[in-house]
Amino acid sequence: MLRAKLSFLAPCLLACGMGLVAGCSTTEADKTANWSPGRLYSEARDEASAGSYDKAIPLFERLEGRAAGTPLAQQAQLEKAYAHYKAGEKADAIATLDRFLRLHPASPAADYAMYLKGLVNFNDQLGLFSFLARQDLSERDQQAARESFEAFQELVRRFPESRYAPDAQARMTYIVNSLAQYEVHVARYYYNRGAYVAAINRAQAAIADYKEVPAAEEALFILHRSYQALGMDQLAADARRVLEKNYPASDYLARGFKPKQDPWWKLW
């Protein structure tokens, strides 16, 4: 098969080298060469609206070059980033947004760029089929969550009056809860395998690093049970006392660990 392919290509390459066969050229004509920036933008938007992001992205790229130095070029950059995001191309979306913020730090759309950057990482946490596996975000690696939080935090700090700030703030609260629950998830994992010292360390980290989060209740319970398992009765009693004081209606002490339910975090 390989020999057959090579024998087919050789005459074509030879003819191209002699300038005899114009059809051997792999360069395609740019059908947009005579398009105005307005038409480029319109066509790119139409492709994006139809979900054809693979076609929209190169059109936005051409528009960015032809309209360089104008607001339309900035708009093309942002819409290209959004198209990458919708196409599931996280790295390309983030790179485009970082470039936009570097080149246009004072742009009126800087707040949107930060919001979109946070959103790319926020949605990346979900995983393509996590909803089928009933997988909580707290059970996944949390690097994307931290990067998302940083983008939203910068948006809220720099543009507190932005139309995107309230949603960013809500997502930040959610991310903090998710990060705390991640620590507790790991602590529970260690406890269930008898690694009580490791369970104590992760539960303490959740309590110390994240204040007033729902996961703190279970973290205290894991501390109590881990200290009990290690025969450290005084520390076990202290953890129980703190749990009862802060969560007087807690049913952990009566029922133990709760069975897995639908995740508490399904807000979006």
- Per DSSP, the three-state class of 66 is helix
pLDDT (tens digit, 9 = 90+) per residue, 86-101? Answer: 999 999 999 999 999 9
- The dihedral through the CA atoms of 244, 178, 261, 136 has a sign that is negative
pLDDT band for 138, please (50, 70, 90 cuts): very low
Task: Give the Cα separation of 57 and 83 in Å (integer).
Answer: 6
Helix 53-66 × helix 37-49 angle, to 10°: 160
Read out DSSP for 32-44? TTT--HHHHHHHH
For 39-99, the fitting CATH number among 3.30.70, 1.10.287, 1.25.40, 1.20.1070 is 1.25.40
- Per DSSP, the three-state class of 30 is coil
Q: What tokens does 132 get?
A: 């089928």
Q: CB–CB of 181/169 below 8 Å?
A: no
| Across 91-112, average pLDDT | 95
Distance of CA 251 to the CA centre of its chain: 34
Closest CA to 142 of 184, 92, 96, 80: 184
pLDDT (tens digit, 9 = 90+) per residue, 149-181? Answer: 999 999 999 999 999 999 999 999 999 998 898
Domain ranges of the chain: 39-99
pLDDT (tens digit, 9 = 90+) per residue, 212-246? Answer: 899 999 999 999 999 999 999 999 999 999 999 99
pLDDT at 128 over 90: no
